[in-house]
Amino acid sequence: MIVEALSVHYGDIVEIYNQAIVAGSQTADENTVSLKEKLSWLKQHTGEHYIIFVAIIDSEIVGYLALSPYRYGRSAFAKTAEISFYLDQNHQRKGIGSQLMQHAINKCPELKIKALIAILLSCNSASIAILKKFNFEKWGVMPGIAKLKNDTVDHLYYGKHLT
């Protein structure tokens, strides 16, 4: 089941995000974050234009997808959202990411979103595969700007126009 995130889900969202940080190749954050640190970001997703969806299996949050402001506060980008998604480490490669993606794309017209941008590390092959599955195209590469513990990787921009 996929539903709009509520404040009671925030702790689980942060926990899943922290799993991605610890994994080391899914986000450019290198230190885990607290709910307090993520709270202002979470509260930007009111459901009126930007939103977070959570995937629930047996009452457990197993993943989430956020449609967030791209270049916050700049009105020319009001119909563009940054899309990001993370899955609990025990529920990856089960189709949940694809379900979240399809659900979000289906909701975009209602949210008045006409373009999606995903910003990710080049070593995040699982996320790149999902984006390609949904016909996102590589729109930009910032070569070698992300320095991870033992590697330097590209920062990629993938995008999709919605019609």
Q: Tens of pLDDT along 78-94?
A: 999 999 999 999 988 89
Q: Is 94 helix (H, G, I), strand (E, B) or coil?
A: coil
Q: Counting every residue, how long is the chain?
A: 163
Position 116 pLDDT exceeds 90: yes
Confidence of residue 118 (pLDDT cuts 50, 70, 90): very high
Identify the residue whose tokens are 């189709």.
95
Domain boundaries in the chain?
2-118
Q: Over range 114-118, report the average pLDDT.
A: 98
Calculate mean pLDDT across residues 130-146: 97
Place domain 2-118 in its CATH homologous superfamily.
Answer: Gcn5-related N-acetyltransferase (GNAT) (3.40.630.30)
pLDDT score, position 148: 83
Instruction: Give the predicted TM-score (pTM) of the model.
Output: 0.93
* Phi-psi map region of 121: left, alpha, beta (phi>0 left; psi -120 to 50 alpha): beta
pLDDT of the residue at 154: 95
pLDDT at 149: 79
Q: What is the mean pLDDT of residues 15-43?
A: 90
Q: Residue 134, SS3?
A: coil
Compute the distance between CA of residue 29 and CA of residue 32 in angstroms, rounded to an integer: 7
